[in-house]
Amino acid sequence: MTQFNFDNSYARLPDRFFARVTPQPAPAPRLLAFNAALAAELGISEGPSEEMTDIFAGNHLPIGAEPIAQAYAGHQFGGFVPQLGDGRAILLGEVVTDRGRFDIQLKGAGRTPFSRGGDGRAWLGPVLREYVLSEAMTALGIPSTRALAAVATGEDILREDLRPGAVLTRVAQSHIRVGTFQYFAARDDQEALRILLDHVIARHYPQAQNAEDVLIAMRDAQARLVAQWMGVGFIHGVMNTDNMTISGETIDYGPAAFMDRYDPEQVFSAIDQYGRYAYANQPNIAVWNIAQFATALLPLAGADREAAITRFTQIVQGFADRFDAEWHAILGRKLGLGADHPAAGEMGLAFLYHLARRGGDFTRAFRALCDGGTAALDAELGTRDDTALREWGARWAAETTPDTRAQMQEANPLRIPRNHQVEAMITAALTGDLSKFERLNAALAAPFAPDPAFAEYGAAPLAGEEVTRTFCGT
Ligand code: AMP
Ligand code: MG
């Protein structure tokens, strides 16, 4: 029998933090993917089995599970929604391992009291997209929720047309979001805010003493996270406050995508009409979200409200410096200058400027410089007499050493989950062919290591292949 080492601390919080729910059974569950390496990390020794399939489909509850849907609110595209909550996600419980405590959540396992008009289901496309992207992010060294399993439910669900239903088993340090704090702040429930803060301190920031410490730690974690996203050309696509974790893990890959050609204004999400969540706007949105977090925490900041507002405002404003420091360090590593090089930010931003001007592929341009210096970069971008770039290249050569250049390979992936490859994988999966899904996962498991067998994933899309639109996938 499958054993999960459950200890469900969130389910022990007061009733108003969640609703107890029962997953809706899937009529004919079929296991599509099982992440054996992650399972082992979670202390789940058993391989895929019929019982496991039933667990990941929501048809069978493992011993110790206490299924709940968590309550939260959130700003969606800037507008506050006082009640969102898990409308199609069900937390089975928390597994305790020697590496920490992890939520095991079924996404797409049926309706909950927070479903509003929705069916509580997910379809195959977004489930496989999240599986691939969240595991790829992890392999790139970027904090993320993870994917333990994907099952097909055997039931078609209605979107624009009928699509095969699926459930993703998501693993996270927790699913507590900025929106979780906002939910109680909007209700002026200070007791709940205090309980939630204590829970977050115990779980994510044990060194923190109070709300202010948590705000600072969370701000720093997000500054680092967004800089890491930008370092691989990642565009989250829907950075609503309900999709920003307190732990600093990337969550919710609905319209998420990696860009091919570098364009700071790139947007993939079909619903992001005004570019709110465009690539280069992500730090601005992060700080906006952190300001919402600070606002929600304010009732816990002590009796002198004016003084607390002043301090919290300074902390929020401090994001810009934190982000710049992280971003410049990443650019310094990507360019082989080293994280602490005083010109890392200046030279990095100049490089990006040239890249945008030349329409270069983000991943390939950095990697070309890394593997073959300025000659390879020229070949990658296409020959042209480009004085400004030549001058930049001369300076780059002067500022780097063979030693620092050798380290570039660890900062510049060869392979990312390119959007056209992800779409092709989904199209194949819809015909029952999971070979592209499996190959993509294999190719992205070690994204920095040269591997001729996976050469196609290092290539930029041809003119007609580019996929520049993604959908939220609800
Ligand atoms: P998301 O866009 O996945 O971050 O979801 C935003 C909100 O919509 C959350 O409260 C979700 O639980 C809810 N939601 C999304 N899709 C569905 C669905 N198919 N059924 C019920 N609720 C949903
Ligand atoms: Mg969400």
Expressed in angstroms and rounded, the spacing between residue 169 Cα and the centre of ligand 2 is 15
CA of 118 to the centre of ligand 1 (A): 7
Say yes or no: CB of residue 254 within 6 Å of ligand 1.
yes
Q: In whole angstroms, give the CA distance from residue 234 to residue 220.
A: 19
The reported pLDDT for the residue numbered 472 is: 77
What pLDDT score does 474 carry? 65
Q: Which mutation among 105, 115, 182, 470 tests ligand 1's pocket best, with the greatest number of atoms within 8 A of CB?
A: 115
Please check the confidence at residue 43 and state whether its pLDDT lies above 90: yes
The pLDDT of residue 403: 86
% of the chain residues with pLDDT over 70: 99
Query: Could you read off the pLDDT of 67-76 as tens digits, one per residue?
Result: 999 999 999 9
Angle between helices 178-186 and 282-297 (to 10 degrees): 40
Compute the mean pLDDT over every residue in the chain, rounded to the nearest whole number: 96
For 354-369, the pLDDT digits (tens) are 999 999 999 999 999 9
Closest approach atom of ligand 1 to CA 119: 20
Residue nearest to atom 15 of ligand 1 (CA): 474
Q: How far apart are CA 161 and CA 164, in angstroms?
A: 10
Q: What is the mean pLDDT of residues 134-161?
A: 97
Residue from 75, 48, 311 nearest 178 by CA:
75
At a CB cut-off of 8 Å and minimum separation 6, what does 317 contact? none
- Model confidence over 299-327: pLDDT tens digits? 999 899 999 999 999 999 999 999 999 99
Place of tokens 């974690």: 221
3-state SS of the chain is CCCCCECCCHHHCCHHHEEECCCCCCCCCEEEEECHHHHHHCCCCCCCCHHHHHHHHCCCCCCCCCCEEECCCEEECCEEECCCCCCCEEEEEEEEECCEEEEEEEECCCCCCCCCCCCCCEEHHHHHHHHHHHHHHHHCCCCECEEEEEEEEEEEEECCCEEEEEEEEEEECCCCEHHHHHHHHHCCCHHHHHHHHHHHHHHCCCCCCCHHHHHHHHHHHHHHHHHHHHHCCEECCCCCHHHCECCCCECCCCCCEECCECCCCCCCECCCCCCCCCHHHHHHHHHHHHHHHHHHHHHHCCCCHHHHHHHHHHHHHCHHHHHHHHHHHHHHHHCCCCCCCCCHHHHHHHHHHHHHHHCCEHHHHHHHHHHHHHHHHHHHHCCCCCHHHHHHHHHHHHHCCHHHHHHHHHCCCCCCCEHHHHHHHHHHHHCCCCHHHHHHHHHHCCCCCCCHHHHHHHCCCCCCCCCCCECCCC
Confidence of residue 219 (pLDDT cuts 50, 70, 90): very high
Q: How crowded is the C-beta side of 390, counted as CA atoms within 13 Å?
A: 5
- 3, pLDDT greater than 90: no
> Model confidence over 111-143: pLDDT tens digits?
999 999 999 999 999 999 999 999 999 999 999
CA of 201 to the centre of ligand 1 (A): 27
Among candidates 143, 134, 164, 154, which has minimal Cα distance to 53? 154
| Marked catalytic residue, from 86, 242, 252, 361 | 242
Token pair, residue 82, equals 């006082």
Interval 173-200: pLDDT, tens: 999 999 999 999 999 999 999 999 999 9
Q: Would you say the CB of residue 13 lies under 6 angstroms from ligand 1?
A: no
Percent of the chain with pLDDT over 90: 95
What's the pLDDT tens digit per position in 50-102? 999 999 999 999 999 999 999 999 999 999 999 999 999 999 999 999 999 99
Is the minimum distance from the CB of 243 to ligand 1 under 6 angstroms?
A: yes
Distance 121 CA to ligand 2 centre (A): 13
Q: Is 98 a catalytic residue?
A: no
Cβ–Cβ under 8 Å, residues 52 and 71: no
User: Does ligand 1 lie within 6 Å of residue 212's CB atom?
Assistant: no
pLDDT digits (tens, 9 = 90+) for 372-398: 999 999 999 997 889 999 999 999 999
* CB of residue 474 inside a 6 A radius of ligand 1: yes
Mean pLDDT within 3-8: 95
Report domain extents, the chain. Answer: 10-172, 328-410
State the number of CA atoms in the 13 A half-sphere of 420 facing the CB.
15
- What is residue 406's predicted lDDT score, i.e. its pLDDT? 86
SS (H, E, C) 406-456: HHHHHCCCCCCCEHHHHHHHHHHHHCCCCHHHHHHHHHHCCCCCCCHHHHH
Q: Indicate whether 473 pLDDT > 70.
A: no
CA dihedral 400, 402, 403, 409 (to 10 degrees): 90
> Which pLDDT score, from 0 to 100, does residue 44 have?
92
Ligand nearest to the CA of 116: 1
